[in-house]
Chains A and B, each alone.
Chain A
Amino acid sequence: MRLTEDIEKRIKNVKIVIDSESNKRVFSNILQAFRKSTAKDLAPTDQPNIWRMIFRNPLTELAAAAVIIIAVSFFSIHQDQDKQERPRIGKVKQSPAEMMTAMSLKIAYRKGGIEAVEEQYNKAFKQLGPRPGSLSAKQIFAESNGI
């Protein structure tokens, strides 16, 4: 055993002497190749590629897949719940009387001026149907407002 160790030690400890000048020359050749390679290959950003890092390790790959599945299922469940819970928004039909209230007319005026007020009147009269010629607008207005 000792003999084996001795010969191992002898092989390991054999000395080499290197001429420093030519060693520098060799290293400059290596450096030249390195510079060429880095100028060509290195990306402008130093950010590591996250997807490459994830897919290099099978464990992280599995974890990433699990996270994606959980996220997708959570999103879809949430979407379904939203659909069930959301009340249906529809246009509430106003009666002619409601259309003729002072508040409603004021809102219409603010939205579109006198034209909007006129339009609202027309809508209300359309819903009420034809009116007898003897009935004045004032009477109709009074009637629809319950006065």
Chain B
Amino acid sequence: MLDDKLLVWKFNRGNINALSRIYEKYRDDLLRLAAALLNDIGDAEDIVQDVFIGFAQSAGRFQLTGSLKGYLATCVANRARNRNRAAHRRRTDRLNGNGPVRSNLEKPDQRLMDGEELRQLNNAMAQLPYEQREAITLHLYGGMKFREIGVLQKVSIKTTQSRYRCGLDRLRSILNSKVKNETDRRHREAYQEC
């Protein structure tokens, strides 16, 4: 916390090293957060870059009131929600027969390697209701307290905690069933080989 205050103080005075350290410190968590909320690595990268550009533009007048990680995580969550809404609108438009068709090709300058573990987890996350996903990711990746998440989601702390617990239970069952299916498949293959 004190380290962050010092970094922000230096950042406000135009210190590039401070900006670099903030970026290195929180980049991974924010990318994981955005990837889990959007289930799209390319979009996650775009959002994290936009958040950091917005943050960089506030140099000289940025005032830190809470935790820096929480602030950046909130920015990512807000942008992710907006993008999800826009994507939902586009999908609806497509189903109605108007609007552009979006390419499924991978973006050319994608810098995040989509690891198997991350993909599995994000696919499981995508099956959760958005609020539960948000509560889990903001708490675990954004380091935010349930009270802060409650403020962001405009619900009580109890509701946030309940969303978090339910989300984790569901996620566990999804991941476990996947593991079980995978084991069954391997057993079947081994049996066939015999």
Chain A residues with CB under 8 Å of chain B are 3-4, 7-8, 10-12, 14-19, 21-23, 25-27, 29-31, 33-34, 36-38, 41-43, 46
B interface size (C-beta, 8 A): 38
Question: Chain A binding site: helix, strand, loop or mixed by DSSP?
Answer: helix
Report the separation of the CA atoms of residues A12 and B136 in the bound assembly, to the nearest whole angstrom: 10
Partner of A14, one of B20, B111, B117, B136: B117
Report the separation of the CA atoms of residues A38 and B57 in the bound assembly, to the nearest whole angstrom: 8
Chain B residues with CB under 8 Å of chain A are 13-14, 16, 19-20, 23, 27-28, 31-32, 35, 45, 49, 52-53, 56-61, 109-113, 115, 117-118, 121, 136, 140-141, 165, 168, 171-172, 175
Beta-carbon contact of B109 and A11 below 8 Å: no
Report the separation of the CA atoms of residues A26 and B19 in the bound assembly, to the nearest whole angstrom: 13
Chain B residues with Cβ below 8 Å from A43 are 60
Beta-carbon contact of A22 and B56 below 8 Å: no
Given contacts A7-B171, A16-B115, A38-B60, 4 further A-B contacts (CB under 8 A): A7-B175, A16-B28, A18-B28, A38-B14
Given contacts A17-B113, A19-B112, A25-B109, whether A38 and B23 have CB atoms under 8 Å apart is: no
Beta-carbon contact of A11 and B136 below 8 Å: yes
Chain A residues with Cβ below 8 Å from B13 are 42, 46
Beta-carbon contact of B111 and A8 below 8 Å: no
Least distance between B26 CB and chain A CB atoms (Å): 12
Question: Chain B binding site: helix, strand, loop or mixed by DSSP?
Answer: helix
Beta-carbon contact of B118 and A14 below 8 Å: yes
Report the separation of the CA atoms of residues A94 and B61 in the bound assembly, to the nearest whole angstrom: 72
Beta-carbon contact of B20 and A27 below 8 Å: yes
Report the separation of the CA atoms of residues A8 and B121 in the bound assembly, to the nearest whole angstrom: 12
Chain B residues with Cβ below 8 Å from A34 are 16, 19, 56-57, 59
Beta-carbon contact of B115 and A17 below 8 Å: yes
Beta-carbon contact of B32 and A26 below 8 Å: no
Partner of B57, one of A8, A21, A22, A33: A33
Partner of B53, one of A25, A30, A46: A30
Residue of A nearest to B56 (CB): A34
Least distance between A10 CB and chain B CB atoms (Å): 8
Residue of B nearest to A34 (CB): B56
Beta-carbon contact of B136 and A42 below 8 Å: no
Beta-carbon contact of B59 and A41 below 8 Å: yes
Beta-carbon contact of A27 and B23 below 8 Å: yes
Report the separation of the CA atoms of residues A10 and B125 in the bound assembly, to the nearest whole angstrom: 13
Least distance between A5 CB and chain B CB atoms (Å): 10
Beta-carbon contact of B111 and A37 below 8 Å: no
Residue of A nearest to B121 (CB): A14
Residue of A nearest to B108 (CB): A22
Chain A residues with Cβ below 8 Å from B45 are 26
